[in-house]
Structure 1
Amino acid sequence: MNARNWELVGAPNARDLGGLPTIDGRRVRVGRLIRTSALGRLTEDDLTVLGRLAPACVVDLRDDSETALAPPNRLVGDPCLVRLPVLDPAQPAFTYLSALLHGHDLDGYDEVARQGAAAAMAMVYRWFVTGAAARDGFARAVRLATDPANLPLLFHCSAGKDRTGWLAVVLLTALGVDEETVRADYLRHNELTVELRGAMSAVMLRQRPGLDAETARAVLEVRPEYLDAGYDEARRVYGSFDAYLADGLGVTAEVRAALCTHLLD
């Protein structure tokens, strides 16, 4: 198995962040940082691939309400399992989007619904920057990545696109990968999940006959404007993304040095 030439049928957006270049000419080390969606639908062949990837630590960004509705993660070996729930059930955008995805009652979400699903997604990304649970979860995940005992580190949420995507943004930026490259990796979710998103959209539209296709697309895709909402919030609140890393997440110069030592070639 080529270090980067692998796929997981049950987690089609899974990928190794290795090989991405940094501003100073280095590269993220292959086989150290792996981002995926939830692992409950992995096939037997997927488990063989996962065994070769051999994650030492698996970070799950879901909370109990999400894991209760999903099949248990399928894992091989004996990785350290760390639950870092990045979710706020009191945040209307989260609960509205969850209700859309699962076909639940939308009563009580009139204001969020009027703004639209894309606006709700942007709201979630702004919350990634300011929400206490988000800052705590992402900060702890970064600290885990500084310890070689936790490498390879595999991290995921449910769909592996938003919370997982933002954590990838945080880690790659801390390692010195430029924004254009970070953005390109973030947007890869769409090209990797064409069939999956089509199937999920069909289910959503069937569960809720009045739902329009654009709303389903807004929930299932990643979009540049979602990422921009997070970037803009970081700059609005902290002055710069580097300041967000340092002051919001505790990614000090020492932490960045440790990340670079263990995660860059």
Structure 2
Amino acid sequence: MSRVRIRLATAVLASALAIGALPAAASAAPAPAAVPAARYHQQAETIRQIPLQGAVNVRDLGGYRTWTGGQVRQGLVYRSDALSKLTPADITAVSGLGLTKVVDFRIPMELQYDGADRLPAGLAPASRPISDLGLYGTLVGAISSADPVKQEQMLGGGRAEAYMRDIYRTFVTSPENRAQFAATVREAADGRQGPLLYHCTSGKDRTGWMSYVLLRSLAVPESAAAGDYLASNTFRAAYDAQVRAGLKQSGRMQNPDLLIPLQEVRQDYLNAATAQIEADYGSFYGYLTNGLGLDLRTLAKLQDKMVR
């Protein structure tokens, strides 16, 4: 077997290890050297935040250790909230990341209200909208009404949480959503593609799911991938609290805490998506290959590019 084929087979095995199922086609390939059990212990890596004034949830996806003893490379993939409020200093900082692609998961209504990304010269965002099941419009309507009864009827009594779980399920069930996520994975795997950033409005749900999928695909332990997802609560907490305080002070919401289930990420929401994966595809590997349509070569290229 050639060295190139051995590298490919090894990367495929690493991908399989990450998703808990070994594809039959790769079962005869030589296994990578055993990694001592002690090295499987997931250390609490420091998340590399990109500090900006106009965005609070900008992070490098790299730095995580994998089950195979590797580490996700930094400086290749970034996750973010919307970039429409970047200051000139922020734009200079973003320019220093060397981005060659920015993917915007927001729907047209979000762009209408929040504005287009402000990016370094020569860099234009690629629109790749992922459905929010009308959540943004519902939220705008609820706040604009300034009617506490209507707001309670729309968001109270566990309805906001249920709405979020439904959104997460559509990350898995919607063919259109799956196509958008798959296209982003393929770009991350492309060796000719330079540093990539993807984002939605808050950088926590659509962006959070995309990041979870990428990290799991790279053999990062599920606990660490979930930790990266949940970290949005830390990075967004102060900003979201200011938003709630402003809505109360302006009189638009008597009980802005109704928004907390929409502002936060929760393990329960992530579980809704992963349970849908089990129901529809049987395993995370099935979701990658049958749901997202990613072949083994793409998964191997992703490993080869992003793990050292």
> Which of residues 108, 116, 123 is equivalent to 1:72?
116
The separation in 1 between residues aligned to 2:88 and 2:278, in whole angstroms, is 44
Structure 1 stretch 142-151 or stretch 166-175: which is displaced more? 142-151
Q: What code does the residue aligned with 1:201 have?
A: R
Residue of structure 2 in register with 1:57 after alignment: 101
| Alpha-carbon distance, 1:251 to partner | 2.1
Task: Indicate if the aligned counterparts of 2:101 and 2:195 stay in contact, CA closer than 8 A.
Answer: yes
Task: Indicate if the aligned counterparts of 2:205 and 2:265 stay in contact, CA closer than 8 A.
Answer: yes
The separation in 2 between residues aligned to 1:238 and 1:166, in whole angstroms, is 17
The separation in 2 between residues aligned to 1:64 and 1:200, in whole angstroms, is 22
Map 1:251-262; keep pairs closer than 5 Å. Answer: 251-262=294-305
Asked if 1:167 is matched to 2:214, the reply is no
Matched residue count: 259
| Alpha-carbon distance, 1:93 to partner | 5.1
Q: Which structure has the bigger radius of gyration?
A: 2
| Alpha-carbon distance, 1:58 to partner | 0.4
> Which of residues 74, 89, 103 is equivalent to 2:144?
103
The separation in 2 between residues aligned to 1:74 and 1:223, in whole angstroms, is 29
Map 1:134-173; keep pairs closer than 5 Å. Answer: 134-173=177-216
Task: Indicate if the aligned counterparts of 1:121 and 1:219 stay in contact, CA closer than 8 A.
Answer: yes
Q: TM-score, normalised by structure 2?
A: 0.77
Identity %: 34
Residues 62-120 of structure 1 deviation map (CA, whole Å, 9 limit, x = unaligned): 121211111221111423632111016xx3556434544x535997x968765411111
Q: What code does the residue aligned with 1:251 have?
A: L
Map 1:18-37; keep pairs closer than 5 Å. Answer: 18-37=62-81
Task: Indicate if the aligned counterparts of 1:86 and 1:133 stay in contact, CA closer than 8 A.
Answer: yes
Residue of structure 2 in register with 1:181 after alignment: 224
Residue of structure 2 in register with 1:15 after alignment: 59
Q: What code does the residue aligned with 1:137 have?
A: Q
Residue of structure 1 in register with 2:293 after alignment: 250
Task: Indicate if the aligned counterparts of 1:10 and 1:43 stay in contact, CA closer than 8 A.
Answer: yes
Residue of structure 1 in register with 2:13 after alignment: none
The separation in 2 between residues aligned to 1:63 and 1:191, in whole angstroms, is 25
Residue of structure 1 in register with 2:238 after alignment: 195
Residue of structure 2 in register with 1:125 after alignment: 168
Residue of structure 2 in register with 1:240 after alignment: 283
Task: Indicate if the aligned counterparts of 2:82 and 2:201 stay in contact, CA closer than 8 A.
Answer: yes
Q: What code does the residue aligned with 2:138 have?
A: Y
The separation in 2 between residues aligned to 1:148 and 1:207, in whole angstroms, is 52
- Unpaired runs of 5+ residues, structure 1, are none
When residues 112 and 59 of structure 1 are mapped into structure 2, their CA distance, relative to the original with a 3 A threshold, is same
1:103 aligned counterpart, secondary structure: helix
Task: Indicate if the aligned counterparts of 1:94 and 1:124 stay in contact, CA closer than 8 A.
Answer: no
When residues 111 and 9 of structure 1 are mapped into structure 2, their CA distance, relative to the original with a 3 A threshold, is closer
The separation in 1 between residues aligned to 2:123 and 2:104, in whole angstroms, is 12
Asked if 1:48 is matched to 2:92, the reply is yes
Residue of structure 1 in register with 2:130 after alignment: 86
1:123 aligned counterpart, secondary structure: helix
Residue of structure 2 in register with 1:228 after alignment: 271
The separation in 2 between residues aligned to 1:146 and 1:175, in whole angstroms, is 11
When residues 114 and 131 of structure 1 are mapped into structure 2, their CA distance, relative to the original with a 3 A threshold, is farther
Q: TM-score, normalised by structure 1?
A: 0.88
When residues 97 and 253 of structure 1 are mapped into structure 2, their CA distance, relative to the original with a 3 A threshold, is farther
Q: What code does the residue aligned with 2:120 have?
A: V
> Which of residues 250, 254, 261 is equivalent to 1:218?
261
Asked if 1:39 is matched to 2:83, the reply is yes
